[in-house]
Structure 1
């Protein structure tokens, strides 16, 4: 399983695959419930990169 922790790491991953999304946009998508993620505790965000790729329509 490919995971990253935090919006900054997700933003860096998205930039590396040619789909730049800013941290502020990621937080907006989180508030709207539009981006797949796990929140094991209030201050921790985990993003499964396979789920993100699927969400983007890459895989």
Structure 2
């Protein structure tokens, strides 16, 4: 049985997810976190990112390490 990957693709969807998990973050702050590599993401193009929600959950709990960020 294949496990479904939980992910969102836009900053707005990530903002919604974070708000639902009692961690509202403004768009400009979130973009700064993305550009500095402080939040887990996979960069597809200069303005397209994928956010794996399991990694985001780890980040919220303080268990994610910056060096694990996948950027191209």
Give the TM bin, normalised by the shorter chain.
0.7 to 0.9
Q: Which runs of 4+ in 1 moved over 3 A?
A: none
| More RCO (CA 8 Å, sep 6+) | 1
| TM-score, normalised via structure 1 length | 0.87
Instruction: Choose 1 or 2 for highest CA Rg.
Output: 2
| TM-score, normalised via structure 2 length | 0.73
Q: Where do 5+ consecutive residues of structure 2 fail to align?
A: 64-72
What root-mean-square deviation, in Å, do the aligned CA atoms of Structure 1 and Structure 2 show? 1.6
Greater helix fraction, Structure 1 or Structure 2: 1
Q: Where do 5+ consecutive residues of structure 1 fail to align?
A: none
Greater strand fraction, Structure 1 or Structure 2: 1
